[in-house]
A and B are shown apart, each in its own frame.
Chain A
């Protein structure tokens, strides 16, 4: 997958995190986004 597509996929995932976890605190949602970056950019 090209980087551009990977970034698009990632941003979509971030939207999902925001939509699906509205009851979570901001910090937790930020942590989820960070984890998503970790999943997208592996060793």
Chain B
């Protein structure tokens, strides 16, 4: 942290806008501000502290809450308000910080009342969300008294009773406290994880049987039940099969019964047909015996008739109307033309004429015809017998066919009947009943097993859920264990590192303080930082005589701070960002009146210490302490970057004006007090004078 500029606006004595540059120039790092007592040196110091850390009161200043310039406040009407502002620009780790703090003062009953306060922090022109955090991360408020202090007050570090401040200072500045805090936070995280682990373990409880074991048992049971159900299914299937077969047997038996009746009837029919055929055969035999010749004569007659017909056609035999035929017509009074007639009429006479002309030779033909008619009639008789016989034979054949078909059916039915079952219908029905009973029992058992199986499956699901939950919990347990292990490892690494670094810092600090102490005082006294980080001065056998002398105490305190800041600076420079080193820091020193109790020799000692104590040193001192630079200039001449003088404007000059309120610079005498109607402090860069 290197201060670059302070801008004040109506801050206490500093009326209007006041700007002070602190930036080191060409490696020159010291700024002097000279002022008479009560003009504004301490206000400058406290304005820097207030700008950084705020508050309703100003540090190092007795008066309370007098933020606003007096003359401006007097101009304020009742309840009138005015804003006061302090802006500090500084650099830290290559970033530029602009810290602007404002406070609004109201005139209430002629007293300054704070009505509002505001802080704005920009880092590289970017406004920050948590402005105070950003400042604190650069320079903790606990450390401010090591960097912004009154010279006389610094003595406190050498006071035995303030050893805690020394400890805190070392720990703060060397970031040992950061290391210790880091360690304690990691340990705290580890404790929290351990607590979480305990809670998860408690949640799992202590079951008599592990869910995995229970799952195994249930799966085994599930397997048995499934096996039983499978077996029962097969049994049921077998029972169904048996029942079906029995039913088929029963049906076959029933059908056989019907068929038997049918067969019986058919057999009777066959017997009857056979009997009938037998009779018919006998009749036929008899008929043939008696009239078979007729059957044979038929052909002879047919041939004879054919011969006669042939003879007629050839004219060998006579042709004409048969006499008998005409006589029949006359007897029936019917003409050949179809007309009926009475005796004596024309048709009758005609027929009588015909009869006279008809020859008697047609009688042979008539005989032949009669014979032919007879044979024809007999021929029908044999045909009739033949037909009857044929019909009967057909009937017999049909009946035999039916019988054959019936026999086949019998055979099929008999084939259907399983031999393994009783052939008795009654026994078969009883067997069926028994089988149905067995099947029903198997179904019931199966249902019972199925219910049991369902319960097991339900239970398995529950156990599965539980196992999943445990697995999730186990995952969580493993994760928490990993985190605990991680914390433990970090604690181990950090503990070792801290122990090493802290001891190293303590030894280095102790040695450096003692070296400087010895160089400056050349006394038989030694300074050291003990194991508890206390600043101890020893003289012979006497331990811890620090603070016995005011000047010595102040010197030792400054030595302590300067050594500390120097070490912090070196540590920060050497910091390896890839390493687990929080670093330390580069800090300025703003010191008010460091020479209060010292004589010339001590002033020179102190000056050398102060000059080298920090990369930036701002010294606020009176012109008396400066003494026109007679004692101090030779020590600081190569390091002075800025010199300012505070000029008091007052309506009435102080009585010692001519003697003390003047400072010499480059052969010029500068008045530090000017008669003015207004009362305020003006700051001037001595280069501009």
Contacts and interface: CB of A to CB of B under 8 A. Distances in A.
Interface stretch (B187-195, B294-302, B365-373, B399-407): B187-195
A37 B487 contact: yes
B490 A11 contact: yes
B99 to A, nearest CB: 15
B185 A14 contact: yes
Interface in B159-199: 178, 181-182, 185-186, 188-189, 192-193
Given A3-B489, A23-B132, A33 B137 contact: no
A8 B494 CA distance: 9
B193 A37 contact: yes
A39 to B, nearest CB: 10
Contacts of B490: 7, 10-11
Nearest to A13: B182
Contacts of A14: 182, 185-186
A30 B184 CA distance: 9
Contact of A37 (B137, B178, B483, B578): B483
A20 B137 CA distance: 5
- How many B residues are at the interface, by size bracket? 20 to 34
A4 to B, nearest CB: 8
B493 interface: yes
B483 to A, nearest CB: 5
Contacts of B430: none
Contacts of B580: 8, 11-12, 15
A19 B182 contact: no
Nearest to A15: B582
- If over half of A's interface residues share one DSSP class (helix, strand or loop), that class is named, otherwise mixed; here it is helix
Contact of A43 (B130, B189, B475): B475
A34 B181 CA distance: 13
B482 interface: yes
Nearest to B184: A30
B133 A22 contact: yes
A14 B140 CA distance: 17
A19 B137 contact: yes
B80 to A, nearest CB: 33
Contacts of B185: 14, 17-18, 29-30, 33
B188 A34 contact: yes
Contacts of B582: 15, 18-19
Contacts of B181: 18, 29
Contacts of B130: 23
B531 interface: no
Contact of B486 (A7, A17, A29): A7
B479 interface: yes
B424 interface: no
Interface string A23-36: 10000011001100
Contacts of A20: 133-134, 137
Interface in B443-495: 475, 479, 482-483, 486-487, 489-490, 493-494
A22 B136 contact: yes
A41 interface: yes
B360 interface: no
Given A18-B181, A38-B483, A23 B133 contact: yes
Nearest to B141: A22
A22 B483 contact: no
A41 B482 contact: yes
Nearest to B185: A33
Interface of A: 3-4, 6-8, 10-12, 14-15, 17-23, 29-30, 33-34, 37-38, 40-43
For the complex of A and B, the 5 pairs showing the least CB-CB separation, nearest first, are A22-B136, A34-B189, A33-B185, A19-B137, A15-B582
Given A19-B178, A43-B475, 4 more contacts: A30-B185, A30-B189, A33-B182, A34-B192
